[in-house]
Structure 1
Amino acid sequence: MAGFPRARPSSPSSSTPAGRPERERIPREIRVLIAAAFVIAIGFGLVAPILPQFARSFDVGVTAASVIVSAFALTRLLFAPAGGWLVEKLGERPVYIVGLLIVALSTAACAFAGNYWQLLVFRGLGGIGSTMFTVSAMGLIVRLAPPSIRGRVSGAYATAFLLGSIGGPIIGGLLAGLGLRVPFLVYAGALLVASAVVFFQLKGTSLAERQAGRDTAPLTVREAVKDSAYRAALVSSFANGWSSFGIRMALVPLFASAVLSAGPQIAGISLAFFAAGTALALTVSGRLADTVGRKPLVITGLLVNGAAMAALGYSGTVVVFLAICVVGGIGTGLLNPAQQAAVADVIGNGRSGGKVLAGFQMSSDLGAIFGPLVAGVIIDRLSTGSYDLAFVVTGALAVVAAAVWLGSRETLPAQERTAAP
């Protein structure tokens, strides 16, 4: 991308005083996005624990409460192609900022919802803004991250988001004592802060410009799906969306309240424990993805998360429940950096891959949509209030995704694995 400083590759002539090769630095633009991700995550964590309970306050069932979570993912899914088109036409920075502002306004509107249907519409509108800033951030990170540190970049971005998510649910659970509407207003304020960070720190920088001399045609989805790694990433992204963005956000807080008889504080703490487990894994998973490869980390993460999700329904005490939440978070932390780095490997630095990234995001959103819906039907209609089967189905899906990855290729070349810092 013209105008952007590129990180210099490590070389024998570039070394630290101790004689060790100097690691490539994460580009400044990505560091700005990482800082914004932290602020966004704080706000997102505020509303996540209380959103299903807020929906239930309008006298609706588990399925209807789960639809509130799915509505956000549904609009993200439907608007993803348009979001990619807007990035190409307007550039990443304006689309990113406008997306954050849309989510901020729709979230503030949720606080004033007078009935279930208003809450559903306002939450759904937020999904439009969400896909705008998500596609913008993903596109920039893929294009700027050098291949040898793609795992580390993905891990750093995810760590910032997860660190915010650790504190967010705890604060949200405490704020719930002031009323279920207050966290929505605080979240809207956090998004305004994130918008200001990106606007001022990247002011005057055209993020839509391509790297000098990069005139290769964009990578199409048809080309990408011929790659076994991209196909496997679509499956694991679907499973991860089902588990981490669907079941974790919609079902886990309801399970804490309905089965364990815990209040909104425990519901918030459970999400924080998930986030803490993920953050713990992220301290090593990004670097491991750049050394041992993407595939081993993805498979391990899927299996660990799947086992934890299947076990959640059988946790009879709050202590056991929270311990399993930590294990589930560890699985997610192992999975995400390697999975995202694999998709970036498929696209490469030399080609644009907006539609390919949109497809990857859409697979996660599909999982986030169907996960809560299927779980709600299982609980309301099939297992008469029992959460066990819904969690087991979630774990089984992760195992299926791991099996698909077993037959895929490793995208990190052997020389990169041995040379990575």
Structure 2
Amino acid sequence: MLLIAAFIIALGFGLIAPILPQYAVSFDVGAAAATVIVSIFAFTRLIFAPVAGALVGKLGEPRIYVTGVLLVAVSTLLCAVVQDYTQLLIARGLGGFGSTMFTISAMALIARLAPDESRGRISGLYAGSFLLGNVAGPVLGTVLAPLGMRVPFVIYGTALIIAAGVVYAALGRRRKLDHDAENPDSGKPAIEVVTAKEALASPAYRAALFSGFSYGWLAFGIRNSMIPLFALAVFGQGHGTAVAGSSMTVFAVGNGCALLFSGKLTDRVGRKIPVLLGMSVLVLSIGAMGVFTSLAGFIICSIVAGFGAGILGPAQQASVADVIGSGRNGGKALAAFQMCTDLGSIIGPLLAGVMADMISYELAFAISASVGLVGVVAWLLVPKNIRAVPVTESPKQL
């Protein structure tokens, strides 16, 4: 059910992502202000992440997941009726609060339920559900383009309400099991909570914080804000929207090709090699995007970037889940990891947008690519024999 809900959520996100920066520009603002619309979403996710992690640990993943999805639904529907840039900024900021709630709770639930030996494959399946939605979303957005830029927000908000209903109905039994585990009178052991401080004892977790920052900067911030604006600047008002949507689609195609094998790969060879390979490919493709400004070069760089992200994503998420271990609540540790990813998503678009306005898009992409090297260096320092944490061990014993 989480996979189905992930597809619905990603379908709507893929629908609005290519048009969101351009929607902001329609309110007579520049590239830097348009990227703030992407950054404010990540900023509110960042500041609310510690609270969301604590709520997951206290109330359980299912309740927080459904509440978060509904908050994003309300925010998205508000975006459809805003009348100026400030209102759009406030509406998107509200969505960030809900987004961090359902993101952390979903990752925590998957980490708790996934068997140790197949954690990478399950992470890959979850990423694949988002992929399918991200593929279909821009295609649907192209079809709906004649209806204007407000309609996709209505569709996305409605899709989120459906997703919340699906998860609420499906996880009813899980809520009952968690309640029994938390009730001392049930005779069942309480669910152990793993804190961020405990997780920091793991070198893999520390490296994941750095690579998560780089991943957020490149795969979320730059891809969702700068690439659509770059397409608009290079290919003109007439073709820019279509090219931006196409870049999102081919990014998802590359992502899907990698996800066909990356989950199994990370279960077989460990987390370090896939993370290093995926991050390196992502860095090179983003850096080249500002150099190869032809349509063919733009599309090729987009699909290669998606391929790198598809190799990196499952391995990185599985490495954090390894530290948490099956059967334990990792909301607080996952909140810290999510905060690093969101921090990259905030700083990336802001800095790149300023450089694009003042100097050039080429420099903006080059600086962004260099930030990805932070994640590469961090994982080079992780021991080769890093392993998952058995349920009976604590992260300090890694």
Could you tell me the TM-score, scaled by structure 2's length? 0.92
Give the aligned residue type for 1:103: V
Give the aligned residue type for 1:66: T
Give the superposed CA RMSD.
1.8
Q: CA deviation at 1:335?
A: 0.3
Aligned to 2:349: 372
State whether structure 2 residue 364 is matched by structure 1 residue 395: no
Q: Distance in 2 between matches of 1:349 and 1:205?
A: 15
Q: CA deviation at 1:215?
A: 5.1
* Equivalent pair of 1:214/1:351 in contact (CA under 8 Å): no
State whether structure 2 residue 276 is matched by structure 1 residue 299: yes
Q: Distance in 2 between matches of 1:328 and 1:179?
A: 29
**1:312-356: CA deviation from partner (whole Å, max 9, x where unpaired):** 011222122111100000000000100111111112125432211
Q: Distance in 1 between matches of 2:277 and 2:154?
A: 38
- The answer for unaligned runs of 5 or more in structure 2 is 391-398
Q: Distance in 1 between matches of 2:227 and 2:339?
A: 23
> Which segment drifts farther, 354-363 or 81-90?
81-90
Q: Distance in 2 between matches of 1:298 and 1:195?
A: 32
- The answer for unaligned runs of 5 or more in structure 1 is 1-31, 416-421
> Which segment drifts farther, 392-401 or 357-366?
392-401
1:9-408 to 2 correspondences below 5 Å: 32-206=1-175, 208-209=178-179, 210=181, 214=189, 218-261=193-236, 262-381=239-358, 383=359, 386-408=360-382
Give the aligned residue type for 1:279: G
Give the aligned residue type for 1:322: I
Aligned to 2:396: none
2:95 alignment partner, SS class: helix
**1:55-88: CA deviation from partner (whole Å, max 9, x where unpaired):** 0000001110000000000111111111122223
Aligned to 1:4: none
Closer, same or farther in 2 for the Cα pair 1:216/1:97, shift >3 Å? closer
* Equivalent pair of 1:173/1:265 in contact (CA under 8 Å): yes
Q: Distance in 2 between matches of 1:103 and 1:225?
A: 30
Q: Distance in 2 between matches of 1:328 and 1:78?
A: 28
Q: CA deviation at 1:266?
A: 1.5
> Which segment drifts farther, 357-366 or 388-397?
388-397
Could you tell me the TM-score, scaled by structure 1's length? 0.87
Q: Distance in 2 between matches of 1:95 and 1:350?
A: 18
Q: CA deviation at 1:116?
A: 0.1
Q: Distance in 2 between matches of 1:371 and 1:292?
A: 31
Aligned to 2:387: 412
Closer, same or farther in 2 for the Cα pair 1:222/1:205, shift >3 Å? closer
> Which segment drifts farther, 84-93 or 131-140?
84-93
* Equivalent pair of 2:276/2:379 in contact (CA under 8 Å): yes
Which has more helix, going by share of residues?
2
1:315 alignment partner, SS class: coil
1:176 alignment partner, SS class: helix
**1:98-140: CA deviation from partner (whole Å, max 9, x where unpaired):** 1111111110110111000000000000011111111111111
* Equivalent pair of 2:323/2:389 in contact (CA under 8 Å): no
* Equivalent pair of 1:43/1:187 in contact (CA under 8 Å): yes
Q: Distance in 1 between matches of 2:222 and 2:330?
A: 29
Percent identity at matched positions? Answer: 52
> Which segment drifts farther, 162-171 or 62-71?
162-171
Q: Distance in 2 between matches of 1:157 and 1:107?
A: 23
Give the aligned residue type for 1:395: A
> Which segment drifts farther, 265-274 or 219-228?
219-228
2:172 alignment partner, SS class: coil
Closer, same or farther in 2 for the Cα pair 1:54/1:348, shift >3 Å? same
**1:243-300: CA deviation from partner (whole Å, max 9, x where unpaired):** 1110000000111111132331221111111111111100000000000111000000
Structure with the bigger RCO (C-alpha within 8 Å, sep 6+) is 2
Q: Distance in 1 between matches of 2:218 and 2:165?
A: 32
Q: CA deviation at 1:172?
A: 1.6
**1:131-189: CA deviation from partner (whole Å, max 9, x where unpaired):** 11111111110000011000000000000101110110121233232111111011111
Q: Distance in 2 between matches of 1:307 and 1:373?
A: 21
Closer, same or farther in 2 for the Cα pair 1:320/1:204, shift >3 Å? same
Closer, same or farther in 2 for the Cα pair 1:215/1:189, shift >3 Å? closer
* Equivalent pair of 1:243/1:371 in contact (CA under 8 Å): yes
Q: Distance in 2 between matches of 1:215 and 1:129?
A: 27
Q: CA deviation at 1:89?
A: 3.0
